[in-house]
Structure 1
Amino acid sequence: MTTDHRATSLTGALGTVFGVPFRLQTYRNLLYLVLAFPLGLAYFTFLSVGLPIGVGLAITVVGTPILLAVLAVSTGLAGVERKIATLLLGIEVESPGWVVTDSGSITERCKRLVTDLGTWKAIVYLGSKLVIGVAAFVSVMVLLVTAVSMLAVPLVYDQPGVYVGIVTDAPIQFHPSLYVVWRNLLVGVETVVSIDAWQVTTLPAALGVAGLGVLLGVASLHLLNGLARLSAWYTKLMLGTNAETPSPW
């Protein structure tokens, strides 16, 4: 009974760790992270152009409508972000409501738009989306591209003109040492480990690199899933209702 339970637990743990490439949600998370960079860049450009123009022309008749338009569009873009998070991250972000409604005069609606906390949280969220996008883009490109490149090593290592390995301008040296005090004398051992250029020239070495690529790929997917969950928490925190108390995990 105990042996079966341990075997089941071990199988479940291995499935949790190595089953991440076979889950659809993993690739939805990756799509969300990949889209975060272009969307964040677009939001940042919109805000960095619209807000300064509106503030700069605030003393004129044109400035105030521009500012109000930027705020209104930002709340609309926040709604788009809620939909994207729901579709790709599998979370429900309850909308605080559309502050610019048909009820009330134009002055009252503009006042609600300016004084509503959700408007300014949307501005902060859209402005910070670029930071999330850059972090996601760098993580995806560095981790996944490296892992995929390592997986492809057995297919290309013996092709003419292809060099797979480590190239250094000069040998990398490590100096591990151990010293002890014995009868007022310092006695120790010091060695030098030198790493020079190394090239994959055999199939076993190429398969070994591919195996490391599998481990790196699995670890990268777990890390990127964690980044997606953190993004989901941040989206609920900034774009959800005040009644929501989201947990990052």
Structure 2
Amino acid sequence: MAVQPPRVPIPLKSIALPNEHGGWGFTLEPVLLGLLVAPSGAGLGLGVFALAAFFTRHPLKLWLSDLRRGKSFPRTALARNFALLYGALALTGMLLAARLSAGPFWVPLLMALPLVGVQLWFDAQNRGRNLLPELSGAVAMGAVATSIALASGQDPRLAYGLWLVLAARSVASIFYARAQVRRARGEAVRAAPIYLVEFLAIAVLGLGATFQWLPWLSVLMLALLLPLSLYTFNKPPVPARVVGWTQMALGLLVVLGTALGARGL
């Protein structure tokens, strides 16, 4: 009689939790910013929606990948169940937002759909780590902060200004982080284009602050990325996790600065 090999248990963490560390910051920042600037029950529902949607992506990708190949693995049913669970939580959050909203919160979410589509298309091709899908996904998530602000009846200028802040922070940080990761791999990196992207992001926020779409404190917080880049690009490269934690800290500063400034507008 043939002896069946022992089944290796599947770590639930590998199925249930996203494996993209940078995505945590780009998901939490819009939720935190929106709720700090404009707390409401509808905003809380949108926060649940955003977090659940972020959690859905990883198990959904695994499940659809197995279906596309016409195969079933021990992980397949787990991935399906987690994807359906997170999807149900996302739907619950959206229904709560629709029930309690005081404004057209759905408009920025619809505007972000093409960017989400770009990210999902690259995901389906196993190219989700390319620059374009990373930028598209991060910028799309900023729409959540705008939706939360609109759901509480905030001034649309400020609401869309929050998206602008998060988009500028995301673009600058992604270019910086990708360059640092390449340095850690021993690849040659030109720092000048990174500085240019950061400068343009700061300049865009400065223009937004001039027209009172966002507080000047947002500009100041993002401007911290320039001296950080000047310092770190002249030092030996550090592991990717250090880059990730540094960027999350910068993102938190941008969020807190924007929230404080928005309260004073």
With the length of structure 1 as denominator, give the TM-score of the two structures.
0.29
Bigger CA radius of gyration: 1
With the length of structure 2 as denominator, give the TM-score of the two structures.
0.27
- Select the structure that is richer in strand: 1
- Select the structure that is richer in helix: 2
